[in-house]
Amino acid sequence: MSSWGCPHEIKGICTRVNNLPCDLGMKGCVLFGRFRFADPTKNRPKKVPAPIPAPDDDKA
């Protein structure tokens, strides 16, 4: 297994997201929305396609 080090994390603090404690995948993180995490709360919800409107048959 490999490891990854974030360049924005310094001593457990994220310098990219207002100096909050680093939590990989949190909103604002460079990984947010780019990867799937084992924790489903860190994953973006799946996009549901908008329904296609039915064609209008009243046109004469």
Hey, what amino acid is at 47? Answer: K
pLDDT at 7 over 80: yes
pLDDT at 59 over 70: no
pLDDT tens, position by position, 22-45: 887 777 888 777 777 787 877 777
Does the pTM surpass 0.75? The reply is: no
Helix, strand, coil percent content, the chain, rounded in steps of 5 = 5, 10, 85
Domain ranges of the chain: 7-37
